[in-house]
Chain A
Amino acid sequence: MNGAPRADEAALELEGVSVAYGATWALRDVSLRLGPGEVVGLAGPNGSGKSTLLAAAAGLLGPAEGSVRIGGSDLRRQRPATRARRVAWMPQEEPPGDNVPLRDYVEYGRYAWSDRWLPPSGADRAATDRALTETDLLGLVGRGIGELSGGERQRARLARVLAQETAYLLLDEPTAYLDIGHQLDVLERIRSFAHRERRGVLLALHDLNLAARFTDRIAVLARGRVVADGPPTEILSPGLLGEVWGIAAEVRRDPTSGLPYLLPQLFERTPSRPSAAVPRRVHVVAGGGSGAALLRSLLEHGFAASAGVLPLFDTDTELAHDLGVPTAVELPFAPIAAETLGQLDRLLDAAEAVIVAPFPVGPTNLANLERLAAWVGRRPTFLLDQPAGVRWDFTDGRATAVRDELQRRGAASGAGVEAAIAWLGRLPSVSPPA
């Protein structure tokens, strides 16, 4: 294998590179270092200059300012054949071309290594084979590239780049047009190859979660400048996401890997029309995911909400936390403690109406319903109908009895979140802000 130490263990360095297209600057004073064995992700919004940076790093564009060097020698001063032995480049798009046999196609990557006048040598064939093995394409060698599927075609392009056997690889969106399975496959191959063979890889990715997972470092570009450069755990933050991409997103940590992943906010938290009045608060009793739609709908309609008592790690609890909804929380499968019931009371007191979502009731959360019995007279209460044919009462009938009691004591009921919202609108004392 080609794991032997290479003569040029030097890094690929962009120093103060600025590239202009006509009168516009595509890159401004960009400095980036790619070391051997490093996988660096390049992220940024459309038009931030990722493709330009990769092309400049490959020596294909002449920078107006700054330089691109490997081990101190300027790439632009070298002939294309010399450059091709040091840096390989895979652009986003490629003309479809003729139905070239796969092996020949991958062998194009060997151009700079072989003698122009002679057919490709044994060393070239061996390199092509290694590249095909690395991308798991050896079995398809008899086919032409026009006969490959999208994923296979992308792997073939990668194989061509690998066959060039350069110290540095510059890949522009290598996962474009691939389904999630192929995306993970290709990125894993790239990463293991880079680490195993000590190659530097700079790859542009749109998917930040994939970047976080597969790169050692991420460099973030915005409007032609590098605004961040470091390991994914340090780089990805809601602040950066908002500043560079203009989105509101939560950054979570994947418990199994410790790597960050981001959850974009799906909707506006505050109503579009500003209002002087304080939003009315509605308390939601839910669990097991039954309250998700209701909570979202309430917030979209301009209400404030509270929730409880919900078990920890329940999806409704996670959602409530995300939405910033005050929640009374208890340990899962534990009976509700008195202190937690006290929290529930406080929440009910602060709310002006109560909506009960169709959650499955067991012995541990029965106390939610029982507690409501004390409040049904003081706060308008709406019970959402349980879905038909689905068992929801796991308390030998006690929950059903409590529910019936609530209805007898004046709780309204109806099917569907819209019915609940409509009911809220009809309440005399509770109405959304104008």
Chain B
Amino acid sequence: MPPPTGPAGSRRRAGPVAALLAVGLVAGIFLSATVGSEWIPFAAVLAILAREVGLGGGFAPCAGLAVAPSQCTVWTEIVWDARMPSILVAVFAGAALALSGGTLQGVFRNPLADPYLLGISSGAAVGAAILLTFQLAVADQATLLPVFAFGGALVPGLVIYAAASGRRRGPESLVLTGVALSALFSAVLATFLFYNPAAGLQLSFWLLGNLQAETWTDAAIVAGVVVAGGTLIALSGRELNVLQLGPAIAESVGVEATRHTRRLILLSTVVTATSVAFTGVIGFVGLVSPHVVRLIVGPDYRKVLPISALFGGVFLLVAWDLALRILPPLALPVGIPTSFVGVPFFLYLLYRRRPVGP
């Protein structure tokens, strides 16, 4: 039973909160460009960003810093070609997870729903494991890993989509189908790991979330899918609100429950699968972000969805920065800081809520 989520008066906060998150996101992107294993002067970072973004062609980023031009070129490559794509993937993947989490929590009317509820993460892990265990196409492994992961992620998603299209089943049976598929895929994964333990090491990093070594292509794909899919999802905020009353009342008010449910599940699956394909499995962002946002702006999905996307982007970006800063020069799997921050926060949310009044 969902907890009461904030007083009705919190609706006025939505605008300022969204603005704050947007500003924080942009600032975070710039600041994150300074985070990495190599120390690069802050001024140089900003100058590089300004030049690459096209703001100042005449900037000589390393002027006055007494470094060789080749060193400056390397710094540009590091900041713009290595760090920036990872940062952008973090932002868009965080948005994707938060958006999917909020959507699935609404579609299934279950506060514990997260983007992986339908077995997407296990499916993606199996897809990746197939590639790594059997050492297929080793030379192109880097390019193929997201493809295999995405394909694997779609399998449970499509099964659930088909199930949702069939005779009217309640959300409970869809969730149970997802749980069953997750268990099945986990067993398949365990079999693969037993067969080739060496692949297990590579896979384990992927299972904890890996934002390193993202390319501009990766960032473009993630950004494109998340913006397109996310926009379509966020535009269904009104329908999602009405669906909270149950499919029967929703239909009586004019919302075609089955059609919208299917569509939202499909969009969430695609958006999450794309994100997981490029980042591995990152937990808690999708579960916690919508709850935090609901506490601040209220339960209206027209606001919760877009603001969750912003929050998720900021959350994952901060987690990524932490991952780079905790044990330099190692980059921790980003799922570690999200869990360490997310779990206590989630427990706090769970136990602080006031019991529902009469």
Contact = CB atoms under 8 A, between A and B. Distances in A.
Chain A bound to chain B: yes
B4 A108 contact: no
Q: Which 8 A-B pairs have the closest CB atoms?
A: A112-B254, A98-B299, A84-B254, A101-B8, A89-B252, A81-B254, A144-B8, A99-B4
Interface residues of A, number: 37
Nearest to B294: A98
B63 interface: no
A376 interface: no
B9 interface: yes
A108 B237 CA distance: 12
A328 B251 CA distance: 64
A85 B2 contact: no
Contacts of A87: 252
A100 interface: yes
Interface string B297-330: 0111000000000000000000000000000000
A144 B357 CA distance: 12
B109 A104 contact: no
Contacts of B2: 96-98
Interface of B: 1-2, 4-9, 11, 109, 235, 238, 241-242, 244-246, 248-249, 251-256, 294, 298-300, 356-358
Given A94-B245, A99-B299, A147-B357, A112 B8 contact: no
Contacts of A150: 358
B244 A97 contact: yes
Nearest to A120: B238
B248 A55 contact: yes
B242 A111 contact: yes
B4 A144 contact: yes
A102 interface: yes
A426 interface: no
B9 A84 contact: no
Interface in A100-131: 100-102, 104, 108-109, 111-112, 116-117
A80 interface: yes
A410 interface: no
A288 B324 CA distance: 91
B255 A111 contact: yes
Interface of A: 55, 58, 60, 79-81, 83-85, 87-89, 91, 94-102, 104, 108-109, 111-112, 116-117, 142-144, 146-147, 149-150, 164
A89 B246 CA distance: 13
Given A58-B252, A80-B254, A84-B253, A99 B7 contact: yes
A100 B235 CA distance: 19
7 contacts: A91-B249, A95-B109, A96-B1, A96-B2, A116-B238, A117-B235, A147-B7
A60 B252 CA distance: 7
B299 A94 contact: no
A103 to B, nearest CB: 8
Given A96-B1, A104-B300, A111-B242, A60 B251 contact: yes
A100 B300 contact: yes
Given A58-B252, A98-B5, A99-B6, 7 more contacts: A84-B253, A104-B11, A108-B245, A108-B253, A142-B9, A147-B7, A149-B358
Contacts of A88: 252
B356 A96 contact: yes
Nearest to B111: A98
A101 B13 CA distance: 14
A88 B109 CA distance: 23
A156 to B, nearest CB: 12
